[in-house]
Amino acid sequence: MARTDATRRTALTLVGVVVIMGALAWASVPFYNWFCRVTGFGGITGVAEAGSDVILDQTIKVRFDGSLSRDMPWEFKPEVREMELRIGETGLAFFEAYNPTDRPIAGQAAYNVTPYEAGGFFEKIECFCFTEQVLQPGERMDMPVTFFVDPAIVNDRDAKYTKVITLSYTFYEIDLPERQATLAQDVETGRNVN
């Protein structure tokens, strides 16, 4: 009888450990994403509702890079590779995406900033990366990003030495939104799309 109780306690303890470890593993990705957004760790940018109230005389260069995941059939590139602006000044850059295929394709952009120390000071006001993008067959689109470099960068122990910031995007193919997937299927099967 005592042996059965000990076995039962051991089994319950092991089940509890597995449940706790599973919960920690599940929560680690959202927690890491939150941590990166708050601290700028890993080159994650900030999001601002408006431009900076302070614009310094000091300038900084911002470089732009665009790439695609291995299976993404789009063409994607920055329209300008580099711009120089005053710290705190609002910048506007465009990326061009093109779908050379004969089918609609949805994409989502992942991004980062290097050097990583600058990530927390790079503020996006508007960005195509905030939402999924859908390009129809043969469609070409200009995708804007509005941003500024927070003037607080000049007082940061590590980031104040940054002279060049690189903003990189990588587009990944994602599932088409339901309505567009239905339309694409109707076109493919020859059904009336009215």
Residue range 64-92: mean pLDDT, rounded:
96
- Model pLDDT for residues 154-187, shown as the tens digit of each residue: 999 999 999 999 999 999 999 998 765 555 555 5
Residue 145 CA, chain-centre distance (Å), reads 12
Same domain, 67 and 149: yes
pLDDT at 40: 46
- Judged against a pLDDT cut of 50, whether residue 36 lies above it is answered with no
Whether 112 is in a domain gets the answer yes
Same domain, 108 and 166: yes
Same domain, 140 and 55: yes
Whether 190 is in a domain gets the answer no
Whether 191 is in a domain gets the answer no
Whether 49 is in a domain gets the answer yes
Whether 157 is in a domain gets the answer yes
Residue 42 CA, chain-centre distance (Å), reads 12
Q: Residue 41 has which token pair?
A: 């760790």
Q: Residue 192 has which token pair?
A: 């009336």
What count of residues does the chain have?
194
pLDDT at 192: 56
Same domain, 94 and 156: yes
Whether 105 is in a domain gets the answer yes
- Model pLDDT for residues 105-152, shown as the tens digit of each residue: 999 999 999 999 999 999 999 999 999 999 999 999 999 999 999 999
- Model pLDDT for residues 17-32, shown as the tens digit of each residue: 777 776 665 554 445 4
Same domain, 71 and 13: no
Same domain, 17 and 50: no
Q: 170 Cβ partners below 8 Å, 6+ apart?
A: 66, 67, 68, 69, 109, 110, 111
Q: Are strands 46-47 and 122-127 parallel, antiparallel or unpaired?
A: parallel
CB 79, CB 96: distance < 8 Å: yes
| Domain encompassing residue 14 | 1-39
Same domain, 141 and 51: yes
The full DSSP string for the chain is -HHHHHHHHHHHHHHHHHHHHHHHHHHHHHHHHHHHHHH-GGGPPEE-SS--S---S-EEEEEEEEEE-TT---EEEESSSEEEEETT--EEEEEEEE--SSS-EEEEEEEEEESGGGGGGEEEEEEGGGS-EEE-TT-EEEEEEEEEE-GGGGGSTTGGG--EEEEEEEEEEEPPPHHHHHHHHHHHHT----
Whether 192 is in a domain gets the answer no
The number of folded domains in the chain is 2
Same domain, 53 and 29: no
- In angstroms, the CA 118 to CA 163 distance is 10
Same domain, 168 and 129: yes
Same domain, 27 and 104: no
For 167, phi then psi, to 5°, come to: -105, 120
